[in-house]
Structure 1
Amino acid sequence: MSTIRAVVFDLDGVIIDSEEVWEEVRRGYVAEHGREFRPDSQDRMMGMSTGEWSRHLAEEVGVPRTAEQVAADVLGRMAERYRADLPLIPGAVEAVRRIGERFTLALASSSARILIDQVLATAGLRDAFQVTLSTEEVPRGKPYPDVYLAAAEKLGLRPAACAAVEDSSNGLRSAAAAGLAVVAVPHGVYPPAADAIAKASLVVPDIGALTVEEIDRLR
C-alpha cells in the first residue's frame, strides 16, 4: 500500500494558467507608475505571498504606493481578469477530480484568499479540497516550507504522507523543504530551475497526464 494519503495542489501554473496574466497585470501596473521590473522580479515573485510581492514592487521596484495599496490595486485587477475569463489549464479540473477519488486533497497557493475562492467557485471545485491555504495565511511564502507544513497539519498528516503538485521553482523548493513527495509539472513559458526540478520524485509533461498509479508509487 502507498504511504501517500493526501495530495496538495498548487493553484497558479497547475490548475490555472495564470502566470502570464500575473506578469502582464503587474508589469502594466508598474509601468503606469513610471517604473520597470528588476531583471529578477518575475522569477522572485513566483511563489511569493501577497505581502512579499507587494513589498517587492513598492520597496525594490519603486512603485510610489505602500505595499498594502499595491496589493489592493493588483488583486483588484486580477479579480477582474478572472471574472472575465478564467484561464483553466486543459485537463486540470478532471485531474483534480480523478485524483480526489483516491486521495484526500488540499490546496496550497501563493494567491490571495479572495482569488483562491473565486477560482474554485468558477471552476466548480469548491467541494474538491478538504483544506485550502494561501501563503498570506502563514508567516512566510514559498520557497519556505510554511504553507505545506500548515496544509499537512490541517489534514492531520505527517508531511511524508503527502504529495505536492507544483510547477514553479519556489513551489518545488517549498514542498521539498516541507518533506512532501514532490511532483513537478513544469510550466512551458516559466520552466523551473534545474536545482528545483531535481527535488521532484516525479516529473509529468502536463497535469492531465498525472495518474493515481504514479502517485501511489512515489513512496
Structure 2
Amino acid sequence: MIDVSIEAVVFDLDGVIIDTEEVWEEVRRGYVAEHGREFLADSQDRMMGMSTGEWSAHLADEVGVPRTAPQVAADVLGRMAERYRQDLPLIPGAADTVRALGGRYRLALASSSARILIDQVLATAGLTDEFEVTLSTEEVPRGKPAPDVYLEAVAKLGLTPGVCAAIEDSSNGLRSAAAAGLTVIAVPHGVYPAAEDALAGAKLVVKAITEVTPEVVSNL
C-alpha cells in the first residue's frame, strides 16, 4: 500500500469552529412558531448540513411556513446574522487549532452556512486569511450529505480528495466528506451526536477540536 501524505485540511464551520447548532435550532423553531407551525419529528436532523435553499424549502414546503423559500431564507439568515453580531459562539480552542494546522497544511472551508454568514464569522474571528478556499453549499448543486461541497473545495485547491482531510461533526457532514473520498476526522457534537453509520466513515474520532493537532493529522 502506498503511503499518502495529507496536504490540506478542509474544515466544516458550524459545530466545528463555532457552536451554532443550538442557535440555528432556536432561531428556526422560534420563526416557525411565530407562523403557527411546528418542526416535524425529523426536521432538526434533516436540516443539519442542508444548504440554505434546501432548509428554507423544507420549512416552507414541508413544515408549512406561509412564506416562499427565498423569503424564509432571508428572514432566518437575518436573524442569525444579528445573533452573530451580538455574540459569536466560537468553540474554545477552535481558532488556535485552525492557525496551528494552517502552519503546516493548506486550509479550506466547506460549510452549509450561507456565504454572508461564513464571511462574517471568519472576519469576526480573525480567520479570513487562514483559508485559501471557502465554500458554501449554496454555491454547489447539492448540500450535505451529497459530496458536492467537499469535491468542489478540493478542486479549488487543485488537489485530489485522497490527499485531503476533513473535520466534521454532524451526520450529514461526515457522510458528505466520506462520500467525497477525504480522510475524515469526526468531532461529534455533545447535544447533536452523529449517527453510528456516519461515524463509521471516519478515520479518527476525537472529543474536542483541540485534539486535532498537526501531528495527529500527519499520522492519519
So what's the TM-score if we normalise by structure 1? 0.99
Q: 2:90 aligns to what?
A: 88
| Structure 2 CA distance for aligned equivalents of residues 47 and 160 of structure 1 | 22
Q: Given the alignment, which residue of 141, 150, 153 partners 2:152?
A: 150
Q: 2:61 aligns to what?
A: 59
Q: Bigger CA drift: 123-132 or 1-10? A: 1-10
* RMSD of aligned residue pairs (Cα, Å): 0.7
SS across alignment from 1:141: coil
| Structure 1 CA distance for aligned equivalents of residues 75 and 125 of structure 2 | 24
| Structure 1 residue ranges without an equivalent (≥5) | none
Q: 2:123 aligns to what?
A: 121
Q: 1:163 aligns to what?
A: 165
Q: 1:75 aligns to what?
A: 77
In the TM superposition, 1:180-199 aligns within 5 A as 180-199=182-201
After TM superposition, what 4+ stretches of structure 1 lie above 2 angstroms from structure 2?
Answer: none
Q: Which amino acid aligns with 1:94?
A: D
| Structure 2 CA distance for aligned equivalents of residues 108 and 187 of structure 1 | 17
| Structure 2 residue ranges without an equivalent (≥5) | none
Over the matched positions of the two proteins, sequence identity in percent amounts to 78
Cα deviation code 1:149-168 (max 9, x no counterpart): 00000000001110000000
Q: 1:29 aligns to what?
A: 31
Cα deviation code 1:40-80 (max 9, x no counterpart): 00000000000000000000000000000000000000000
Q: CA deviation at 1:213?
A: 1.4
| Structure 1 CA distance for aligned equivalents of residues 209 and 6 of structure 2 | 18
So what's the TM-score if we normalise by structure 2? 0.98
Contact 1:168-1:187 within 8 A present in 2 as well: yes
| Structure 2 CA distance for aligned equivalents of residues 13 and 21 of structure 1 | 11
SS across alignment from 1:99: helix
Q: Bigger CA drift: 2-11 or 99-108? A: 2-11
Contact 2:174-2:198 within 8 A present in 1 as well: yes
Q: 1:111 aligns to what?
A: 113
Contact 1:2-1:217 within 8 A present in 2 as well: no
Q: Which amino acid aligns with 2:77?
A: L
